[in-house]
Amino acid sequence: MKKIVVTGGAGFIGSNFVRMLLRKRSAAKVIVLDKLTYAGNLDNLAGLNKDKRFKFVKGDICNAKLLADILPGADIIYNFAAETHVDRSILEAGSFVKTDVVGTYTLLQKTLEYKVPRFLQVSTDEVYGSILKGSFRETDPIKPNSPYSASKAGADMLVRAFYKTYGLPALITRSSNNYGPFQHPEKFIPLFTTNAIEGMPLPLYGDGKNVRDWIYVEDNCRAIDLVGRKGKIGEVYNIGAGDEKTNVYIARKIMELTGADPSLLTLVSDRPGHDRRYSVATRKIKALGWSNKTAFDEGLKKTVRWYRQNENWWRPVRDGSFRKYYRKMYTGRLKEGRKL
């Protein structure tokens, strides 16, 4: 039986990935290592404990001793664990450097020591920076603009260096913006969906015309699984659906799907250093045999339906520390905001 270690498996993409693995790979044992930060949630893995092939370990990827208990004998490690929210990285960058850079370094060091035969670093298209026309290829230089993307870029550089210097068998995926079930309600699509359901304002940054290429989380999970199994060691694979949308387009779609009052849409002051557009060329992942299955409008419909049907999942998450964060980020901006 294959031993698969998934760090950050209690987060949004990691938990979708773990469910997919257990569904598709009957001969796999999956160990999730997760620190359970504000973004990690055991409810994301509800029900999986009944499966004998699944094990959850609470812990930090910076903890080398703990890694020594978990990594020996692993066939592959998928590193999803990270601080992931750009806005939070602008408020406080230290935890991003710690987990995304030092945590990845610690994992690499132990992967080497225990001779794990495959290591997949889950990275992001944000490491390339913003591009107004065309799409970034895997060979393009990286130019991150936020403390989050700089930390992820630091991790990518370490992965590359460990491959080049020590021959560590590593792969990197760089995907575009994910959306779908179990995404923390602080991120754009779930924030707008849950605010719309609650009848609260939808705070659009800047002019609302920033562009992201949105990929349904299950499509990204299939791509990561494919790279994990068939990707060439030492290579980087971009992953994107090619579904570029402005934020204002998405906000209007969410209002349509939830029946929210259009006056809720509010332009607020912009995110500092806000990248205008992300876009990645995906020829390489397609050549490996991947294609996107979920068109954006269909995926968004499914996602909004999921949030409508799973209030018991997101209501507790929007309590406590979320409220504090929300007040800090939005109260002043919304007071000064203007209707579109």
Binding to ligand NAD, residues 87-126 (CB under 6 A): 99, 103, 122, 124
Per the CB < 8 A criterion, the answer to whether 6 and 30 are in contact is yes
Dihedrals phi, psi of 193, to nearest 5 degrees:
-65, -50
For residues 34 and 126, which CB has a smaller minimum distance to ligand DAU in the complex?
A: 126
Amino acid letter, 296: F
Q: Which residues are catalytic?
A: 125-126, 148
Q: At its nearest, how many Å lie between ligand DAU and the CB of residue 105?
A: 19
For residues 74 and 101, which CB has a smaller minimum distance to ligand DAU in the complex?
A: 101
Q: At its nearest, how many Å lie between ligand NAD and the CB of residue 173?
A: 8
d(CA 274, CA 276): 6
For residues 33 and 170, which CB has a smaller minimum distance to ligand NAD in the complex?
A: 33
For residues 19 and 184, which CB has a smaller minimum distance to ligand NAD in the complex?
A: 184
Per the CB < 8 A criterion, the answer to whether 197 and 307 are in contact is yes
Q: At its nearest, how many Å lie between ligand NAD and the CB of residue 53?
A: 20
Q: At its nearest, how many Å lie between ligand NAD and the CB of residue 39?
A: 3
Helix (H) or strand (E) holding 223: helix 217-230
Strand order through the sheet with 54-58: 54-58, 28-34, 2-7, 76-79, 119-124, 170-175, 236-239
Q: Which does 34 bind (CB under 5 to 8 A by kind): ligand DAU, ligand NAD, none?
A: ligand NAD
Spatial CB neighbours of 338, under 8 Å, sequence gap ≥ 6: 266, 267
Of positions 100, 125, 219, 243, contacts ligand DAU by CB under 6 A: 125
Residues in contact with ligand DAU by the rule CB under 6 A:
84-87, 124-126, 176-177, 187-188, 191, 203-205, 210, 212, 247, 271, 278
